[in-house]
Amino acid sequence: MQQSFQLDVQFAVGRAIEKTLPTRTQFRRWTKLALEREAEITIRVVNIAEGRDLNCRYRGKDYATNVLTFVYDDTDPLSGDIVLCAPVIEREALQQHKPLMAHYAHMTVHGVLHLQGYDHIDENDAQHMEGREIQILASLGVQNPYVVSSEVAVSN
């Protein structure tokens, strides 16, 4: 069932890196596929400094991470922010030999699932969450992100 949602996308990175980022349309498509309920979501794409500051302030970890999810209201409509750290996502895509847009799609879906209560703290929860991610990404033509592959594509 299609869920209604509001999505605000913010780009808080330099002009040079903006050219390598997904479009608002891509973020909207990826979010829509992962949503299971009504939601109001902000996706904010940040640089290393902001990513590190947020991760340190809210998780006590002094480094930038790929995706952070903040839930503000878990009733309907669900409300929260997803923060994507562009340099970390780019570095991971290169290291893992994945197309950049495929990795952005994965991190967006991952963040939207976290927003809805999915987690990967224990093995059962991780298997459930990863299975859902694999299913959603497959609908985009993205291969299983948990298997190393040199040929992965993502449709816009």
Statement: 5-138 belongs to CATH 3.40.50.1100: no
CA 69 to chain centre: 9
Residue 134: in which H helix or E strand, if any?
helix 123-138
DSSP secondary structure letter of residue 117: T
Task: Establish whether 114 is an annotated binding residue.
Answer: yes
Give the global pTM: 0.93
Tell how strand 39-46 and strand 78-85 pair up: parallel
pLDDT at 89: 98
Please report where in the chains the tokens 């980022």 appear, as a residue: 21
Segment 94-148, tens digit of pLDDT? 999 999 999 999 999 999 999 999 999 999 999 999 999 999 999 999 999 998 6
Express as a percent the part of the chain with pLDDT over 90.
88
Q: Average pLDDT of 12-20?
A: 88
3-class secondary structure for 72-91?
EECCCCEEEEEEEEHHHHHH
Task: Establish whether 120 is an annotated binding residue.
Answer: yes
